[in-house]
């Protein structure tokens, strides 16, 4: 199914779309994202913010400006906000935690955080401040590819963090990259199996985009068909997941990638609210980012015959407390599958 194209692919995506509508109706969750720091202590080969990229101007956003933006000037369509950064514990302490406190007391936004692998103490501080959803991607299910790509820690540690976050009452969204150089079809299937095994409430499929100033800059971009076929497979195997339409679909397939994502099982859109003066330096892939502003998001939702959800992700998850930590039915056990893994040795932060 992951190699489908043409009318067979359309049928496959239509099945995934129908499953989305059956489970969620036509409503699409709409959140905002603010990218608060591009400092990162990690060195992922697929990311332009890796620590070895000395050409990048690093920034940390201003806490008061972000607060004003999100409290006073946020788009009326968003119900949630995702606070995202490179793996930068300084930014977590100085910006993210105070921002979560402020948003919790001054807005009714659902709050997600995507700030990398942190210490249990920092996760707890974020949760006590009012964040409910943590986004931690496992990136690839192949431990040796994970290591080769210098993704954070080891695959085993990453999975342990995801499990422990879930065990500590976080709702966890994860994700993987499709189309990585050297990635086999079997590895793509393993990604789907790991997504099924982990205790997730959301999961994304991101296309591999060769990032500027990275070791993979000369490698070919992912096929958007593979990415969307993975998205459809994810929807059909786990109808209950919230699946974002990722903005990188616009790079993998300019003009229609994003809307095709909504047609292949996605039900979450993200409006980029990062202040424009720093946004270009949040260099996941390329400087000429295609920014999904409110106008573009609302147009895509409308053109696909969908509508903006008035319910936040947090409200949705609260009303759907359901266990998604199902037994792994593949041939390969993943670390922590017996729930025995604790967080690895705390990192110095
Ligand atoms: S993917 Fe995340 S952890 Fe890895 S280098 Fe980029 S910002 Fe850092």
Q: What separation in Å is there between the alpha carbon of 106 and the centre of ligand 1?
A: 30
Of residues 13, 90, 1, 12, the one with CA closest to residue 256:
13
Of residues 201, 30, 26, 204, the one with CA closest to residue 109:
30
Owner of token pair 């590819």: 145
If pLDDT is split at 50, 70 and 90, which confidence band does 282 have? confident
* pLDDT of 223 above 60: yes
3-state secondary structure of 272: strand
**Is the C-beta atom of 40 inside 6 A of ligand 1?**
yes
If pLDDT is split at 50, 70 and 90, which confidence band does 285 have? low
In this prediction, residues 279-304 reach a mean pLDDT of 81
In this prediction, residues 276-289 reach a mean pLDDT of 68
Give backbone dihedrals phi and psi of 71, rounded to 5 degrees, phi first: -85, -40
In this prediction, residues 298-322 reach a mean pLDDT of 92
Q: What separation in Å is there between the alpha carbon of 21 and the centre of ligand 1?
A: 33
In this prediction, residues 218-234 reach a mean pLDDT of 97
Dig out the tokens for 11 from the structure: 């049928």
The region of weakest confidence among 95-104, 285-294, 295-304 is: 285-294
Residue 332, Cβ density class (10 Å: 0-12 exposed, 13-18 middle, ≥19 buried): exposed
Q: What percent of the chain has pLDDT over 90?
A: 81
**Is the C-beta atom of 49 inside 6 A of ligand 1?**
yes
**Is the C-beta atom of 152 inside 6 A of ligand 1?**
yes
Put simply, whether the predicted model's pTM sits higher than 0.85 gets the answer yes
Atom of ligand 1 nearest to the CA of 38: 7
Q: What is the mean pLDDT of the chain?
A: 90
**Is the C-beta atom of 292 inside 6 A of ligand 1?**
no
Owner of token pair 């999904």: 292
What are 130-153's pLDDT values in tens digits?
999 999 999 999 999 999 999 999
Atom of ligand 1 nearest to the CA of 139: 1
If pLDDT is split at 50, 70 and 90, which confidence band does 331 have? very low
What are 15-50's pLDDT values in tens digits?
999 999 999 999 999 999 999 999 999 999 999 999
Strands in 184-247 per DSSP E: 202-207
Q: Whose CA is nearest to atom 4 of ligand 1?
A: 44
User: Which range, 181-185, 210-214, 258-262, has the best average confidence (pLDDT)?
Assistant: 258-262
Q: What separation in Å is there between the alpha carbon of 115 and the centre of ligand 1?
A: 9
Q: What separation in Å is there between the alpha carbon of 166 and the centre of ligand 1?
A: 21
**Is the C-beta atom of 44 inside 6 A of ligand 1?**
yes
Of residues 195, 118, 130, the one with CA closest to residue 164:
118
Alpha helices in 73-181 (DSSP H): 89-91, 97-106, 120-129, 143-148, 155-167
In this prediction, residues 330-340 reach a mean pLDDT of 41
Q: Which residues pair with 112 in a beta bridge?
A: 82, 133
Q: Whose CA is nearest to atom 2 of ligand 1?
A: 86
* pLDDT of 324 above 70: no
The region of weakest confidence among 23-32, 124-133, 221-230, 245-254 is: 245-254
Dig out the tokens for 228 from the structure: 């969307």
- Full set of structural domains in the chain with CATH: 24-319 (3.20.20.70)
Question: What are 118-123's contacts with CB under 8 Å, separation 24+?
Answer: 118/87, 118/89, 118/92, 118/347, 118/349, 119/89, 119/343, 119/346, 119/347, 119/349, 120/164, 120/168, 120/343, 120/346, 121/346, 122/89, 122/92, 122/93, 122/349, 123/165, 123/168, 123/170
**Is the C-beta atom of 158 inside 6 A of ligand 1?**
no
Atom of ligand 1 nearest to the CA of 47: 6
What are 163-180's pLDDT values in tens digits?
999 999 999 999 999 999
| pLDDT at res. 344 | 33
The region of weakest confidence among 229-238, 250-259, 269-278, 336-345 is: 336-345
Residues 317 and 321: their CA atoms lie apart, in Å, by: 6
| pLDDT at res. 320 | 81
In this prediction, residues 291-317 reach a mean pLDDT of 94
In this prediction, residues 62-85 reach a mean pLDDT of 96
Pairing of strands 80-85, 27-37: parallel
Residues 6+ apart with CB under 8 A from 119: 89, 343, 346, 347, 349
In this prediction, residues 82-105 reach a mean pLDDT of 98
Q: Give the mutation target among 46, 59, 152, 215 for probing the ligand 1 site: most ligand atoms within 8 A of CB.
A: 152
| pLDDT at res. 253 | 87
Q: What separation in Å is there between the alpha carbon of 235 and the centre of ligand 1?
A: 26
Owner of token pair 């397939």: 253
């Amino acid at each position: 199914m992951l190699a489908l194209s043409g009318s067979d692919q359309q049928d496959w995506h239509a099945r995934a779309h129908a499953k989305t509508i059956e489970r969620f109706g036509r409503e699409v969750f709409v959140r905002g994202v603010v990218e608060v720091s591009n400092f990162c202590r990690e060195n992922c080969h697929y990311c332009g913010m890796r620590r070895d990229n000395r050409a990048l101007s690093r920034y940390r956003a201003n806490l008061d400006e972000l607060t004003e933006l999100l409290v006073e000037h946020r788009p009326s369509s968003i119900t949630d906000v995702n606070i995202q950064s490179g793996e930068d514990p300084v930014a977590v302490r100085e910006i993210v935690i105070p921002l979560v406190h402020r948003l919790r007391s001054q807005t009714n936004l659902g709050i997600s955080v995507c700030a990398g692998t942190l210490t249990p103490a920092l996760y707890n501080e974020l949760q006590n401040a009012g964040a409910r959803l943590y986004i931690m991607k496992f990136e690839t299910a192949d431990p040796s590819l994970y290591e080769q790509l210098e993704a954070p820690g080891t695959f085993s540690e990453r999975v342990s963090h995801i499990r422990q976050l879930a065990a500590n009452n976080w709702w966890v969204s994860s994700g993987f990259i499709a189309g990585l150089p050297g990635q086999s079809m079997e590895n793509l299937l393993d990604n789907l199996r790991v997504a099924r095994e982990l205790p997730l409430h959301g999961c994304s499929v991101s296309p591999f985009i060769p990032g500027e100033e990275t070791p993979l800059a000369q490698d070919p971009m992912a096929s958007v068909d593979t990415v969307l076929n993975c998205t459809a497979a994810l929807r059909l195997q786990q109808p209950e997941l919230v699946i974002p339409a990722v903005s990188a679909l616009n790079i993998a397939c300019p003009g229609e990638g994003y809307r095709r994502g909504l047609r292949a099982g996605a039900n979450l859109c993200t409006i980029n609210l990062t202040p424009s003066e720093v946004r270009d330096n949040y260099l996941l892939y390329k400087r000429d980012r295609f920014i999904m502003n409110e106008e573009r998001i609302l147009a895509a939702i409308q053109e696909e015959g969908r509508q903006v959800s008035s319910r936040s992700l947090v409200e949705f998850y609260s009303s759907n407390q359901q266990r998604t930590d199902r037994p792994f039915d593949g041939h390969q056990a993943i670390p922590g599958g017996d729930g025995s893994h604790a967080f690895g040795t705390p990192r110095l932060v």
